[in-house]
Each structure stands twice: as C-alpha cells, then as structure tokens.
Structure 1
C-alpha cells in the first residue's frame, strides 16, 4: 500500500503577500544566521501535520477537512508580526503570526484534531498557534544578530489573505528542499 507524508494547510498564494514574506526572509538572512528559508511557493499555514499516511486514509482525512470547513465562513487572514519556536533563547523556527483570522484557524484546527484523533491519527501535545513558518535555524551562527533582526521585525505588516479553502498536501522531501503537491481541496 502506498504511503505519503501529509499535512492540511491554508496555502499563501497572494503574490503581494508572498513578496512581503520574501522581504522579511531577506532581512532575516542579512543577519548572517544559518537559516533554511521556506521557498516562496511553499509558504503556508499548517492546520494539521499528519505524518506518513496510507493513500487509503485520504477519504477519512477529507471527511475531517469537510467538518472543519463547515465551522467557519470564508475569512480574511491578516499576517503580522514575527515569532519563534520554541523560545527566544533557543530559536529553531521563525514564523509570521496571524492577527486577524486567528479564531477561524484555531476553530478549524480544533475540529481537525478532534475528528482525526478519533480516527487514530496522532494528537498534538501542544496548543495550536496559527503561524506561517518562514525559516528554520540550522545552527547558532550569528544568533545575536538574528535575535536583533527578529526584534526589529516584531510588528512587521505582511498583508491579508482571503481564505476560502483548505488543502490536503503531499510533501516529498528532496535534498534541495521539500516539494508540495495538493492531493485534495475542500472549500469553506
């Protein structure tokens, strides 16, 4: 049986917003930190990471996605501000936050967590924080300059994205970076 690495996302496809994200990434990169930037075509908000799933589970996942999509109307997601995981003293991931639209993304993530958990998918241990990952930190090189760049960008305005669908994505890991393909799409 064929399996694939999967996640459920809100894709960021607005060209202006993606360009502003790239500008933020360039400012982070200018710090000299050892970063792996998310490719512009891969920028998204993950509602639920599923891991490796058998293709036979796609229908179950889509059913959960449909229930999640029913909980909200199409909405505007406003991307603003920079955050980090796990904490400012040990930065592994740099992300842009969701200001407006946070309640809707949390509602959908909660339904996905509940429905998929019931189907045997692994439950998250941490609370869902709506965010768009822009970079992963590979080493501690120039950590102080990276922290300063993050501080300078703390209130950066990235823009608004109209959200009217969620997608089940297949992630193919390649040496040059991941490649994402839409498997199924559910309208809100």
Structure 2
C-alpha cells in the first residue's frame, strides 16, 4: 500500500483555509488548475511509497518512538507560494523548528524500518492546494500565491502524527488515516 506520514490540521482550521481558497479558484486561469479537496489536505512529514503490509507493525513502533521524542507544539497555516509553475501551497508559521525536528525524526525512523536512507531533501512545511498538471501554469499559480501572502489562519496544536494511505486510483486522490501516534505531552 502507498503510504506517507502526516500532520492533519483540525477541521476548524481547514474550514478557515477553505474560505480563503474559494476566491482563488475564481482568479483568471485558475480553472485550469487541479485543486486539491479539503478532505485530503494534510502536511506531509515523509513520503514512504509502497510499503508491504507485514512491515506495518515495526513501522508503527518506530513512528511511536519518533513522535514521543517531540513535544506538542503550535502551528498556523500562513502565507502562500508555489514550487515552480506546478504546485500552489499554503505555508506554516509558529513553532516550525519543532515541526522540522519531528520531520527529521520521522524520516530517520522510516529509513531504518524500510532499509532506505532518510530523505535528505530540505523539509519545506506546506499544504498543497493545487497543481498545474503536465504544463506549468505560472500565471495562475503566481496570482493565487500572491493572494495568499497575507493569510494567517488560527493557531492549532500539533498533537499527533498519522500514517496515511493514499489511493490514487479513484477519480480524485483519496487519503485514509490508518493510525496515529501522540507527541510528547507539553
């Protein structure tokens, strides 16, 4: 099964973001973007790819240990940007240093369990809102990102990490949280 580890913002935070994103979908050229569904919004800490089901118990143990090494912390969705002309995202503010440390620990735990090196790419905390598809759509992405710059959502506590299964065979990507592990209580 195709898996990733993520933080799932609470429903009230997602509703606030949804209200901020709705006007962006009416911008010129925005109808050419593939907008992600609210029920799929998440903050990826580590992408695992295909994982055999028999590895899940040991993976769960490693993720539980990694989560408990980090305290509950507070974030907010804030600002926006794009990766090239392909991905529109909303960023994070708040205790992002704790989130970065958590992402590193998760990557190391996953690497040890799946016998792969931890992802050395720099972690850029974000939540993906839209993709341009095969051809970059710099104009609409730039305009939407500029509109997101002043956005500052409500603060929320990060209390757990989730192991999420992605089903890309549906008409739209569908994500299911299989299990979660708490962070160290504050």
TM-score by length of 1: 0.86
Instruction: Sort the Cα spacing of 1:74 and 1:19 in 2 relative to 1 into closer, same or farther, 3 A.
Output: same
CA distance in 2: counterparts of 1:121 and 1:180, whole angstroms: 24
Per the alignment, residue 95 of structure 2 pairs with 101
Match for residue 48 of structure 1?
46
CA distance in 2, matches of 1:70, 1:185: 12
Residues in 2 aligned to 1:28 and 1:174: alpha-carbon distance in whole angstroms: 27
Q: What is the aligned partner in structure 2 of residue 170 from structure 1?
A: 165
Aligned to 2:69: 71
Task: Report the counterpart of residue 114 of structure 1 in structure 2.
Answer: 108
Secondary structure at the counterpart of residue 4 of structure 2: strand
SS at 1:162 equivalent: strand
Larger % of helix: which? Answer: 2
- Tell me which stretches of 4 or more aligned residues in structure 1 moved more than 4 Å: none
Higher strand share: 1
The residue aligned with 2:80 is: 82
2:15 aligned to 12, 15, 19, which one? 19
Shift of 1:10: 0.7
Q: Unpaired runs of 5+ in structure 2?
A: none
- Number of aligned residue pairs: 179
Q: Does structure 2 retain, via aligned residues, the 8 Å contact 1:6–1:49?
A: yes
**Secondary structure in 2 matching 1:186:** strand
CA distance in 2, matches of 1:123, 1:91: 27
Question: Any gaps of 5 or more consecutive residues in structure 1?
Answer: none
1:57-83 CA deviation, whole Å, 9 max, x = no partner? 112221221122122221211111002
The answer for the alignment partner of 2:4 in structure 1 is 7
Q: Determine if the alignment matches structure 1 residue 35 to structure 2 residue 48.
A: no
